A = this chain, B = another copy of it.
């Protein structure tokens, strides 16, 4: 009997809400990240690179040799299917690593593209491994980053599979705002450097659906559009986004749960 449906966690579960809120404390926000970057700086030969919006750090199929850490800016990850479908697979903020997917078969499996002016630190994978022998903290850092990426991917999957279009957009904005907050960046006035089409691609819906969802979110005052264009928006209260997701879980064709 596989009783999957028991929703009451037998063990202590760490809600992702708690994780991020901890780091979002005004002073300590981004503290780990700063430490991590410092550790890298102290133990490895770094190749710094400044890039502009649209520049690619690496491309799918390219020979793997380096791992990359975001020092500033935001990057998007794009994967391709064998038949050419393209998919925005994730985003990487300050302190995030990129390129892990290349380790297994010696070639990168996706593109990493800068979304604005950014700085990235690159390290040769083999020298990184060597340095890890003397500095175990370094290895711990890498493993934690990979672990987080796996967890994050699963969260995306969960959002995709269980939420309606509107809720998915809300959840995406929550994720984006929290990612910024965790790094001590402003969340009340954010500028998405993504088109509706890209957001839709990432969330598995069409651009019109994204647009409609955001209009609805604005109508319900969960987000607000800035004066300028519809590209920058304000998120007065991140919890309001969470509540919106909860609300939309009740009514519509949402419950894609087991049983």
Contacts and interface: CB of A to CB of B under 8 A. Distances in A.
A246 B83 contact: yes
Nearest to A59: B11
Interface string A148-165: 111101111110111000
B53 A147 contact: no
Nearest to A171: B81
B107 A5 contact: yes
Interface string A66-95: 000000000001111111111111100000
Given A85-B158, A86-B258, 7 more contacts: A4-B86, A12-B107, A13-B61, A88-B258, A89-B154, A103-B143, A160-B160
A3 interface: yes
A65 B103 CA distance: 24
Interface of A: 1-5, 7-17, 19, 53-54, 59-65, 77-90, 100-107, 109-110, 113, 129, 133, 136, 139, 143-151, 153-158, 160-162, 197-198, 200-206, 246, 249, 256-259
Of listed A19, A77, A146, residue having the most chain B CB within 10 A: A146
Given A147-B104, A160-B160, A197-B258, A109 B153 contact: no
Contacts of A79: 154-155, 157-158
Contact of A106 (B8, B53, B106, B197): B8
Contacts of A60: 2, 4, 9, 11, 13
Contacts of A78: 4
B256 A104 contact: no
A150 B147 contact: no
B103 A161 contact: no
Nearest to A62: B11
B100 A147 contact: yes
